[in-house]
Structure 1
Amino acid sequence: MPKSTEVLPECTQLMDPGKLRPFLEAFTSRLLNLGHTRLTVSGYEASARHFGQWLQSTKFAITEIDDDVVRRFAQHRCRCPGSRQADRLSAKYVNRARRFIGFLVEYGAVTPSTDELPGVDLHEVQIVAFQTWLRRHRGISERTVRRHGRMVMRLLAGLGPDPKLYDARLVRQVILDEAQRSSRANLKTMTMALRGYLKYLATQGLCQPGLDQAIPTVPQWRLSALPLYISTADVDRVVASCDVTTPIGIRDHAVLLLLARLGLRAGDVSSMCLEDIDWREGTLCVRGKGRREIRLPLPQDVGEAIIDYLREARPPAAWEQIFLRAVAPHRPLASATVSSIVKLALVRAGIDNAPSRGANLLRHSAATSMLRAGATLDMIGAVLRHRSVDTTAHYAKVDIDMLLQVAQPWPGSASC
C-alpha cells in the first residue's frame, strides 16, 4: 500500500518556496490573525512550502497554477527535501496547499478558473455574469445571489444553452415540468430566480424581452397562516438560557437580545458592524433587504450585552462585523449560525412546542409583543422595516382583544 507523506516540522525550513516566499509570509500572517494556533499554521506553512519547492523543480510559473498543476502536485512521487519519501500525498495535506492557492487567487497572483466559483458550472459562465448583475442592481444578500444561481443552473438543462432560442412555450413548459418534482415553496423560489435571469438576459440583448411574463404563477394564499411566535415569558427564558460565564454564552446572549428586543433578521445580526452603533446617541443603524437603512433606538440591556461581548469575549480579529465565530478561523457569523443560536437556546430553555426554531421566531414574537403592548401597526412596520402595510397587518390576527371588539355577532343568534 502506498504511503502518504507529511513534511517533518523540523525539516520545514529545508524547503525553499522560491518566488512564493512573500506570499507564504502573508498567508501565515493571515492564518494567525484568523485565530489559528501556531501548530495549525505550521502545518499549512509546511504544505505551502512543499508546493513552492515542487513548483520550482517542475519549472512551473506562478501564473500557470491551475487545477491541473494542483493535481500533478498531489500525484507526484515525492523526493523533495524535508519530506518523507513516498508515492503520493495525503488528501488533507493537498487541501492545505489548495487553501494557500486560494489565498494566491485572492491576492491576485493567480487567475481563478470558472469551476472554482461556488455554485457555478464550468460551461455556464453566463450564470457568473447573472450573479454579478444581481449584486450590482438588485440589492439582495449574497446568500440569495448564490441560491438564484443554483436554481437557474438546475433549469438550464430544460431551457438549453442558447438564450436566443428561448420562447414563451419553452419557459412555461420548464416550470410545469419542475412542478412535478418540487414542493410549492421551492417552485416559488425557482420561478423568482428564473424571472430575474430572463430579465437579465433581456437587458443584455441575449433573449427576447418579456419572457419573464410567460412564467406561470405558483398559487399561494399570501399571509394566510398565523404568525409563528412564543410568549414573552418564553422569550425571556430563551435569552436567560445563555451561560454568560463563557465567551460563546456572552456572544449568544447579545445575539438573542438583538433578535428579541428589536426584531432583527438573522442577516441583520450577522452583517452588523461596529460603525453601525452610535454609542453617544444610543442608536443602531440596520441595513436590511433591498439596501434599506433605518436607525433604531438601542435598548439599555442590548447595548450592555454588546459591550460585554466586545470587552470580554470577541476574538482579536480584524473584521468589521461585530459577531464572530468563537473558534478559528474567526470569521463573521453566517445567517444560518444565528438561527442555530436560537435553536440551541430553545433546547436549553426546555421549550419543546415552539412553532419554529429559527431567528424569525423571535422576530415574530417581538412584533406580537409590541402589538399587545399597544403599539400601532405603523410603528411595528417601521421597526420591522416592512415595505407593505399588509405584511404588518398580518400580526393583527393574533391580537385576540382587538379582534373581539370588531367581531360581529353570528347571524343565527340575532333576534328578529
Structure 2
Amino acid sequence: MYKHRGLTEATLDIYQRTLVGLCTALGDDAHAYSAEALRAFVLDRARPHGIQNAKSITVAVRSFLRFLGATGQCPPGMEHAIPGFACWQLSAVPRFLVAKDIERVVGSCSDNANGLRDRAVLLLLARLGLRASEVAQLKFADIDWYHGCITVCGKGRHQEALPLSQEVGDAILLYLKQGRPSLQVPEVFTTVLAPLRALTRASVTHIVRSALRRAGVKSPVNGAHVLRHSAATAMLRQGASLADVGAVLRHRSPMTTAHYAKVDFGLLSEIAQPWPGVSSC
C-alpha cells in the first residue's frame, strides 16, 4: 500500500490496528476465513465508532483481503463479503470554531518552550489548514524562508507548496530560537522533555486537545481536524472562493470543498426555497 498506492505511514498505522485485530479475532490462516466471520468482525469493530471510522475499517479489511486473494493466501473475491456503510455526502454542516475561539486557543500558549512549540503548531493548523500528520512530518528542508512558502506532503504523498504567512513564520522562528532542543532530526517539531524525539500525529492532536482545555473552549470535534475546518470556513467568510479554499486545503475533488458552502447561513436563507404547500418562515 505504501509503495504502489501512495498511502502515508499515518494511514497505514490506522489500517494496521484494524488488521491486527482481524488476525487476533480470526487467526492467521486466511483460507479459514468465512464471509460470515468477516462481516461479524467488521460490524463488531465499527459499532463503537462513527461513520468515518467505520468506513476506514471497511477499507482496511477489503484492501487486506484483496492482497491475500492476489497472493493466493485466501480465496479470491472475499472482499465482496464486507458490507458497506451508508454515508450521505454533504448531509452535515462542517464543524468548526469561530474566530474568537481560535484566538483564545492560540493565546492560551505560554512563553516557555512547550508554549512556543504549541503556538507554532496551532497556527499551522488554524491558518494554513494543515492536517496533524502534515505538521508532525514537517521538515527543515520543507521551509523556503527566502520565498516565504512551505512544501507539504499530504495524502497520497503528493507534495504541494503553500504560502507561509508572517504570523506563522514568526512563530516557527521563535520556537526554533528559544524552544526547540538541540535534537539532530530533520523534523521541525520535537518533544521538549525527555525522551527527545520528533512529534507524532497523535502528539499534535494532544497539543490541540490541551489547548482547547486550557482556553475553556467547547469544541464540536476534540481533535486537530477542527482547526482545519475552521481555517476553511474563515477563508470563505473572508471572501475566498471555493476553488481558493480547495487549493489551500489541497482537496482532490471539488465536491469535498463544496461541503463548506453551507457555513454562510445568511446567504443560504436568501436562496432557500420554501417547502411545497408550506408558507415560508
- 2:18 — aligned with what? 151
The match for 2:159 among 293, 311, 325 is: 293
What does 1:372-387 correspond to in 2, within 5 Å?
Answer: 372-387=237-252
Deviation at 1:265, TM superposition (A): 0.6
Unaligned runs of 5+ residues in structure 1 are 1-133
What does 1:321-400 correspond to in 2, within 5 Å?
Answer: 321-351=187-217, 353-400=218-265
- Matched residues in 1 for 2:76 and 2:246: separation? 36
- Matched residues in 2 for 1:233 and 1:150: separation? 37
Q: Percent identity over the alignment?
A: 47
Q: Does 1:258 align with 2:124?
A: yes
Q: Does 1:199 align with 2:94?
A: no
Relative to 1, partners in 2 of residues 1:345 and 1:158: Cα closer, same or farther, differing over 3 Å? closer
CA offsets 1:75-111 (integer angstroms, 9 cap, x no match): xxxxxxxxxxxxxxxxxxxxxxxxxxxxxxxxxxxxx
- Matched residues in 1 for 2:67 and 2:187: separation? 31
**Partner amino acid, structure 2, of 1:365:** S
Between the two proteins, the alignment pairs up a number of residues equal to 276
- 1:70 — aligned with what? none
The match for 2:273 among 405, 408, 416 is: 408
Q: Given that residues 158 and 174 in structure 1 are in contact (C-alpha distance below 8 angstroms), is that contact kept between their aligned partners in structure 2?
A: no
Higher relative contact order, structure no. (Cα contacts within 8 Å, ≥ 6 residues apart):
2
- 1:8 — aligned with what? none
Deviation at 1:178, TM superposition (A): 4.4
CA offsets 1:377-413 (integer angstroms, 9 cap, x no match): 1111111111222221111121113312321244433
Deviation at 1:368, TM superposition (A): 0.5
Q: Secondary structure at the match of 1:413?
A: coil
The match for 1:238 among 101, 105, 108 is: 105
Relative to 1, partners in 2 of residues 1:151 and 1:242: Cα closer, same or farther, differing over 3 Å? same
CA offsets 1:6-56 (integer angstroms, 9 cap, x no match): xxxxxxxxxxxxxxxxxxxxxxxxxxxxxxxxxxxxxxxxxxxxxxxxxxx
Q: Secondary structure at the match of 1:136?
A: coil
Deviation at 1:215, TM superposition (A): 1.6
Q: Given that residues 270 and 332 in structure 1 are in contact (C-alpha distance below 8 angstroms), is that contact kept between their aligned partners in structure 2?
A: yes
- Matched residues in 2 for 1:204 and 1:349: separation? 52
Q: Given that residues 172 and 216 in structure 1 are in contact (C-alpha distance below 8 angstroms), is that contact kept between their aligned partners in structure 2?
A: no
Q: Given that residues 274 and 322 in structure 1 are in contact (C-alpha distance below 8 angstroms), is that contact kept between their aligned partners in structure 2?
A: yes
- 2:181 — aligned with what? 315
Q: Given that residues 324 and 332 in structure 1 are in contact (C-alpha distance below 8 angstroms), is that contact kept between their aligned partners in structure 2?
A: yes
- Matched residues in 1 for 2:143 and 2:199: separation? 18
- Matched residues in 1 for 2:131 and 2:89: separation? 20
RMSD value, Cα: 2.1
Deviation at 1:159, TM superposition (A): 4.6
Q: Given that residues 22 and 41 in structure 2 are in contact (C-alpha distance below 8 angstroms), is that contact kept between their aligned partners in structure 1?
A: no
Relative to 1, partners in 2 of residues 1:330 and 1:160: Cα closer, same or farther, differing over 3 Å? closer
Q: Given that residues 175 and 191 in structure 1 are in contact (C-alpha distance below 8 angstroms), is that contact kept between their aligned partners in structure 2?
A: no
The higher radius of gyration belongs to 1
Deviation at 1:157, TM superposition (A): 5.3
Q: Secondary structure at the match of 2:141?
A: helix
TM-score (norm 2): 0.90
- Matched residues in 2 for 1:138 and 1:364: separation? 26
**Partner amino acid, structure 1, of 2:23:** L
Q: Does 1:217 align with 2:84?
A: yes
CA offsets 1:271-326 (integer angstroms, 9 cap, x no match): 00001011111011111111111101100110111111111111101100000000
Unaligned runs of 5+ residues in structure 2 are none
Relative to 1, partners in 2 of residues 1:316 and 1:171: Cα closer, same or farther, differing over 3 Å? same
Q: Secondary structure at the match of 1:325?
A: coil
Deviation at 1:230, TM superposition (A): 0.9
Q: Secondary structure at the match of 1:305?
A: helix
The match for 2:28 among 161, 164, 180 is: 161
Deviation at 1:335, TM superposition (A): 1.1
**Partner amino acid, structure 1, of 2:139:** C
- Matched residues in 1 for 2:256 and 2:167: separation? 28
Relative to 1, partners in 2 of residues 1:190 and 1:291: Cα closer, same or farther, differing over 3 Å? same
Q: Does 1:140 align with 2:4?
A: no
TM-score (norm 1): 0.62
CA offsets 1:191-213 (integer angstroms, 9 cap, x no match): 21111111212332333433323
- 1:273 — aligned with what? 139
CA offsets 1:157-187 (integer angstroms, 9 cap, x no match): 5655333455xxx235421354256335354
Q: Secondary structure at the match of 2:175?
A: helix
- Matched residues in 1 for 2:25 and 2:204: separation? 36
Q: Secondary structure at the match of 1:395?
A: helix
**Partner amino acid, structure 1, of 2:254:** V
- Matched residues in 1 for 2:44 and 2:209: separation? 32
